[in-house]
Structure 1
Amino acid sequence: MEVSSVQQLCEHLISSAIQRCRIADHLCRLSVLLKSSPSFEPPLVRISVSDTGVGSCLEEFQGLKYTMDPTSAEKWDGVLSLTTTGFGDDEIYHYHLNLKENTSTRRLTKLPSSSKNGATFSGTELNLSIFGTLDGLRTKLTHFLGKMLILKNHNVVIELAVECGDFPASRCENIVPANESIALSSATSNIERLKSGLEEYVVKHGNSLSDICHSCFSDGLHLKVGSGVACCTESHRNTGQVMEAVIIISELSDPTTPCCFRACDSKTEVLYFKDFSPFSISQAALNGLTSIDWKSYGLTLRSIADQDGYAFLEWENLPENTRIDLVLHCYHKEYPS
């Protein structure tokens, strides 16, 4: 995989951490910490992505490459600090990984390991430091993790914290507090999690992780929720791929009240997930959306736009007091193996 920005790299590291947590047989924590040191010029931002899932397999980084976007304001030397251990390991392993190095034998540097002193735990932590501003990255990762919460993974709690300052008493803000990410029980089906997660996303408008928006839902919720599951087949053989879909139509009883709906205009962003992580929408999914007989549901689709892997549906004659939200999730029914 090739990434061209620190944002893309962080999203990839978060998705990899989710996979390590999902295959663990215990409750896991995924933590993302952004720490800004404004005393540097330009400012220095330290980024940490850590999880308590199974230990990292070094092969997952072999195909990861970083190509600097010349227009990016972020400056990074391409080096990741990796710390990992598994339940069966007696030591904690430390590495430096240079994603800008093209020679495979020079990409990975093994550092001295440290003893676990008989303790039993597993997990992975990745760190990098960039010269640049914090606000843009903070906004994008908040939105990315907000999408991640829609899936409500049953054994993963997610948190995002931002710390500003160079001193121990520096202000630290929990953008995604872990106690708000506690998911449903393991007996709840994936589609039920998806429905529950999208409902919570809708009432927060997907643009913030705050409480319910009282300007739009002051007199309660008015949601029409539909869902479906399809198993993909090829040449009459089941490939094991599952596609889940949830659609929510929100209506306001008082369309004259100022609200967030008007900012949505007549478009719907298709929230697309693959293997329990946000992902660029596939061509097959786009084709499926185009082939739906929307008029039979009382909707008229004007167009579908694919903007850098993010799909947007534009509707005709959609009432200004109505909004449509749609999420798709494609994964293998036996995932993770």
Structure 2
Amino acid sequence: MDAVDSVQKLCHRLISSAFQRCRVSEQLCRLSVALNGSRLRDPAVTLISISDTGVACSLGEFQDLKLQGGLSEKLDGMLSVRTTGICDEEISNHQLNLMEGNSAHRLNRLPSISKNGMRFSGTDVCLTVVEKSEVIVDEISRFFQKMLILNIPSIGFELLVHHEDASGPHYERVFLPNEWNALPFSASNLERLKCGFEDYLLKQRNCVTGNCDSRSTTLEHLKSGTGTEDSSESSKISGLVMEAVITISEFSDQMSPYLMECGPRTEVLYFKDFSPSPVSKSSLSGLLKIDWKSYGLKLGGIVDQGSCLFLEWENLPQHVGIDVVFHCYQKKNSYPLVRQKSYSNQALLKKAAKLALDDLKEKHRGFLLSDHALKIRSYAPDLAKTLAGLILSSKDLEFQEECLSLLGLPTEEVGYKKVEECIKDKIVSVIEQNDRNPERCKDAVPTLFEYECPPKVDLEEEHEEGDDSSDTFSLLR
């Protein structure tokens, strides 16, 4: 397990583990984080309790946990862990010293507690940190908001805060999820990811415009495409799934505050094994290798801020926003997770993103057209005007009637503008259909213009982290 260097990252790691235990249990579960702090002490000290009702925890995950940086100044390193399985007769009680370098000496077993014949399971992890509860609340709230993107219906979240100041004790329930787009339990992970991502975007936009508790922005403003790619059994990374959701938003004037705040750029949200994660180097390489131009997009650069990654666009219309989320996870549902050797998932991400872009283009006419299609479409009005003139100016009434019949128009008393618009719509429709991914088109579309397609390039072979060529990152800032 990777080392952690801050209280926030330690909390994220412990919450993610609790989430995995709930998910693996396949039962209705609660994940609760309680903060108990005092503003009367200097420095401020906060007791953090992270509890869940999932399967019993594996003490091995704490044995391998490594702390680094200045964490020794923020906590004493002691974790109190109580856990029990559904069939256990007792609640195991342990104390772990994370500051102990020798993992074999970390664990101290304390007396167990009898369950008195009751059947339940769960884990409670407690630690004390030198940090203001307000700082921890903000971080955990943002983390929970991202966890909700996964949209797992069997897990409920809550964040409880108790603090004491000169006026006395105060209790607050800080985080209460607002499920706008609920799905049945039978929904797939990809369906949940799509709906959870849309809910996240709607809430984010409404909060920017000062309407956090309303739906001034609705699902009708969002157009989403999805894609999923599994690694082959013969692959070095067999057993992995990469899911992608790409959303295009069209904004009205009332959304101008959001556009001013975000600008022409896209934050890339990334999940690994059902937990928010930084974008890996191989995933970043996969993003750069996507042929964005074939979807009418020009990538200007990538801004890597460590915990956040942004794509910057050069030709994005002012009223349009693009949002992206990826989730890479192991097919096998197990706890603790089997830690595999780190291989590049660049090809998986690139393929999943392409499928999502193709899906979005196929479902929403006129979106993500290539530069070539846009150039041809710009000639459609003039071509339609010329053809309409030829048809209506012809003195051959039989020819005229046949043309109007082919266009689906009445043969009598039809206006010039109506004929022109009908021809233009049909030309544009053919151009847009030809611009789709040929593999996904069920019906052959007549070719309007000769165009030599570039040769299809197979996905890059999977390789270990660090093998990406340096020129791949020329856009990285």
* Mapping 1:101-120, distance limit 5 Å: 101-120=100-119
The letter of the residue matching 1:126 is V
Distance 2:99 2:272 in 1: 27
Give, in angstroms, the shift of residue 186 of structure 1: 2.1
Whether 1:315 aligns to 2:317 is no
Give, in angstroms, the shift of residue 158 of structure 1: 1.4
Structure 1 residues 249 and 179: CA distance shift in structure 2, 3 A: closer
Identity of aligned residues (%): 48
Partners of 1:153 and 1:183 within 8 A in 2? no
Give, in angstroms, the shift of residue 183 of structure 1: 5.9
Partner residue, 1:69: 70
Which structure dedicates a bigger proportion of its chain to helix?
Answer: 2
Distance 2:194 2:103 in 1: 44
Equivalenced residues, count: 330
Distance 2:321 2:174 in 1: 26
2:268 paired residue among 258, 270, 277: 270
Show CA shifts across 1:36-79 (max 9, x none).
21121112211111000001111111110112427x9x621111
Distance 1:297 1:3 in 2: 39
Secondary structure of the structure 2 residue equivalent to 1:317: coil
Partner residue, 2:253: 254
The letter of the residue matching 1:40 is R
Partners of 1:45 and 1:131 within 8 A in 2? yes
Give, in angstroms, the shift of residue 311 of structure 1: 2.1
Partner residue, 1:195: 194
Whether 1:331 aligns to 2:329 is yes
The letter of the residue matching 2:65 is L
Partners of 1:262 and 1:320 within 8 A in 2? no
Structure 1 residues 78 and 242: CA distance shift in structure 2, 3 A: same
Distance 1:238 1:114 in 2: 42
Structure 1 residues 264 and 77: CA distance shift in structure 2, 3 A: same
Partners of 2:227 and 2:244 within 8 A in 1? yes
Partners of 1:223 and 1:249 within 8 A in 2? yes
Secondary structure of the structure 1 residue equivalent to 2:238: strand
Give, in angstroms, the shift of residue 272 of structure 1: 0.4
Structure 1 residues 238 and 50: CA distance shift in structure 2, 3 A: closer
The letter of the residue matching 1:57 is S
Partners of 1:143 and 1:207 within 8 A in 2? no
Partner residue, 1:39: 40
Distance 1:212 1:272 in 2: 27
Gaps of 5+ in 2: 336-477
Whether 1:25 aligns to 2:29 is no
Partner residue, 2:359: none
Secondary structure of the structure 2 residue equivalent to 1:154: coil
Partner residue, 1:292: 290
Which structure dedicates a bigger proportion of its chain to strand?
Answer: 1
Partner residue, 1:304: 302
Partners of 1:67 and 1:100 within 8 A in 2? no
Moved more, 309-318 or 270-279: 309-318
Give, in angstroms, the shift of residue 317 of structure 1: 2.9
Show CA shifts across 1:85-136 (max 9, x none).
1111111111111111112233111111111011100000111111222232
Distance 1:331 1:118 in 2: 37
Secondary structure of the structure 2 residue equivalent to 1:66: coil
What TM-score comes out, normalization by structure 1 length? 0.89
The letter of the residue matching 2:56 is G
Pick 1 or 2: higher relative contact order, CA cutoff 8 A, min separation 6.
1
Partner residue, 1:147: 146
Give, in angstroms, the shift of residue 177 of structure 1: 1.8
Partner residue, 2:156: 157
Show CA shifts across 1:221-251 (max 9, x none).
4111111111123756881211100011111
Q: Give the number of the structure whose alpha-carbon radius of gyration is greater.
A: 2
Structure 1 residues 35 and 184: CA distance shift in structure 2, 3 A: farther
The letter of the residue matching 1:10 is C
Partner residue, 2:391: none
Whether 1:242 aligns to 2:248 is no
Whether 1:174 aligns to 2:173 is yes
Partner residue, 2:213: 211
Secondary structure of the structure 1 residue equivalent to 2:82: strand
Give, in angstroms, the shift of residue 287 of structure 1: 1.8
Give, in angstroms, the shift of residue 185 of structure 1: 2.4
Distance 2:179 2:116 in 1: 33
Distance 1:93 1:237 in 2: 39
Secondary structure of the structure 1 residue equivalent to 2:231: strand
Show CA shifts across 1:252-277 (max 9, x none).
1326x642232112221111001111
The letter of the residue matching 2:261 is A
**Cα-Cα RMSD:** 2.6
Distance 1:287 1:146 in 2: 27
Secondary structure of the structure 2 residue equivalent to 1:277: coil
Partner residue, 1:60: 61
Partner residue, 2:468: none
Secondary structure of the structure 1 residue equivalent to 2:253: coil
Partner residue, 1:280: 278
Distance 1:151 1:291 in 2: 26
Partners of 2:206 and 2:214 within 8 A in 1? no
Partner residue, 2:230: 231
Secondary structure of the structure 2 residue equivalent to 1:56: coil
Partner residue, 1:6: 7
Distance 1:296 1:41 in 2: 58
Partners of 1:275 and 1:335 within 8 A in 2? no
Gaps of 5+ in 1: none
Distance 1:237 1:105 in 2: 32
Distance 2:50 2:180 in 1: 17
